[in-house]
């Protein structure tokens, strides 16, 4: 089997890249380790930057998002139950869309199927070969047999635990990591969202986040110690604690119900450099992980896809390798900017177990400044809605 671009990973990054490339006349084969049903069962982010929204439209996979997604003009930030609002449209003239990552993936699968793209699921034991030559190739197992896929380039979109990043030698690759001393306990419930807009709550008891997927599907989070287990938190105990951390008006109007999904996610900041080695290009979570605080994970993957798609177009359509040669540097510049924003939000909004009185005073000062400064809110809005590609 042969293709121009072997795309490793059938999540939203791999599917979006494949969709854009195929529409430009560049052939792909997508290899995904899991089944399609498994991929579509994963609960992930729900806030799309304006740049991601435009890319989905460009790919031909944005129609349902435009019909069913929810444009949001701002967010609420609460400090010890007292809220203030950051208006994105007023501060920077942009907005975000609330539309779940699962729905994005579903739409991309449908768009790929509509154009007859090749997606091979349950591709096990993927291995990358001869990446520093002009003729890289990929092996994988499917239905008990080993298969070989020859290609021009490999796009590693297979996440943090995939085969792509480890294919770059240790003496070439540098990993940067910050692990945070807490996690997010999140539940999904078939209830109205706690508030009309996404609400970030900083509280002496810990951070909370009220988000949503649609008018009858709420996504709710609280900060918990890493030692906690899902079994430690009944729905009633979760809702009681969630209510304590929200703005008073939101807490009073909160509608609760049984959880349909519950999990604890640890938080980390992670970047791997470089994002290119020979004919291999890393994209999305294969190269970086951000805390969910700034809603940047899926959106950063989209900016990687943008840079890589444009680079492949220049190579194939214009016989120009400048985009490929500059991909890693260009992508990493935006990644580190988004990493800084997510780190800043995480540090400002969470309770740290080892924080001193000085640290707590600095947190309060930072929040007070954001609440009262037009300039600070403009910076927040520009970063939250998405820096330019």
CA 148, 154, 159, 160 torsion-angle sign: positive
- CA 66 and chain centroid, separation: 20
Provide the 8-state DSSP code for 168.
S
- Check if 200 is active-site: yes
- Check if 12 is active-site: no
Q: How far is CA 81 from CA 303, 337, 344, 351, 365, in A?
A: 35, 30, 21, 15, 16
Name the catalytic one among 200, 221, 307, 327: 200
- Check if 292 is active-site: yes
Helix 50-59 and helix 297-318, axial crossing angle in degrees, nearest 10: 50
Q: Nearest-CA neighbor of 281 among 253, 257, 259, 301?
A: 301
Name the catalytic one among 12, 72, 99, 136: 72
Name the catalytic one among 203, 262, 288, 296: 296
Give the E-state strand segments of the chain in sequence order: 5-8, 28-31, 47-48, 70-72, 74-79, 82-87, 96-98, 118-120, 124-129, 137-142, 145-150, 153-156, 174-189, 199-202, 208-214, 217-224, 259-273, 276-277, 280-282, 288-289
- Check if 72 is active-site: yes
Name the catalytic one among 50, 262, 292, 306: 292
Provide the 8-state DSSP code for 205.
T
Name the catalytic one among 99, 109, 327, 384: 384
| Residues designated catalytic | 72, 200, 292, 296, 384
């Amino acid at each position: 089997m042969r293709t121009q671009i072997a795309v490793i990973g059938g999540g939203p990054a791999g599917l979006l890249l494949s969709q854009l490339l195929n529409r430009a006349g560049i052939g792909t084969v997508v290899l995904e380790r899991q089944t399609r049903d498994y991929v579509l069962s994963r609960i992930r982010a729900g806030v799309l930057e304006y740049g991601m929204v435009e890319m989905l439209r460009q790919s031909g996979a944005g129609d349902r998002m435009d019909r069913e997604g929810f444009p949001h003009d701002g967010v609420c930030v609460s400090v010890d139950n007292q809220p203030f609002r950051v208006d994105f449209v007023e501060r920077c003239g942009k907005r975000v869309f609330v539309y779940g990552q699962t729905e994005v993936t579903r739409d991309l699968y449908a768009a790929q199927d509509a154009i007859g793209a090749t997606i091979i699921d349950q591709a096990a034991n993927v291995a990358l070969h001869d990446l520093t030559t002009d003729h890289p190739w990929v092996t994988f197992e499917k239905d008990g047999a080993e298969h070989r896929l020859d290609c021009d380039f490999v796009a590693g979109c297979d996440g943090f635990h995939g085969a792509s990043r480890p294919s770059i030698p240790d003496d070439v690759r540098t990993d940067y990591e910050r692990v945070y001393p807490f996690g997010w306990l999140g539940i999904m419930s078939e209830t109205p969202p706690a508030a009309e807009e996404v609400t970030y709550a900083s509280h002496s008891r810990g951070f909370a986040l009220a988000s949503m997927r649609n008018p009858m599907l709420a996504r709710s989070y609280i900060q918990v110690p890493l030692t906690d287990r899902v079994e430690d938190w009944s729905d009633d105990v979760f809702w009681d604690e969630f209510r304590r951390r929200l703005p008073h008006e939101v807490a009073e109007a909160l509608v609760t119900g049984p959880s349909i999904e519950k999990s604890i996610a640890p938080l980390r900041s992670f970047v791997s450099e470089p994002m290119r080695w020979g004919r291999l290009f890393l994209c999305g979570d294969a190269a970086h992980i951000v805390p969910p605080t700034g809603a940047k994970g899926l959106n950063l993957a989209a900016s990687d896809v943008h840079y890589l798609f444009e680079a492949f177009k220049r190579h194939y359509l214009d016989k120009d390798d400048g985009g490929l040669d500059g991909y890693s540097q260009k992508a990493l510049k935006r990644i580190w900017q988004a990493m800084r924003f997510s780190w800043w939000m995480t540090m400002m909004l969470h309770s740290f177990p080892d924080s001193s009185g000085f640290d707590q005073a600095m947190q309060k000062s930072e929040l007070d400044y954001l609440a009262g400064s037009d300039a600070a809110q403009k910076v927040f809005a520009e970063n939250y809605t998405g820096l330019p590609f």
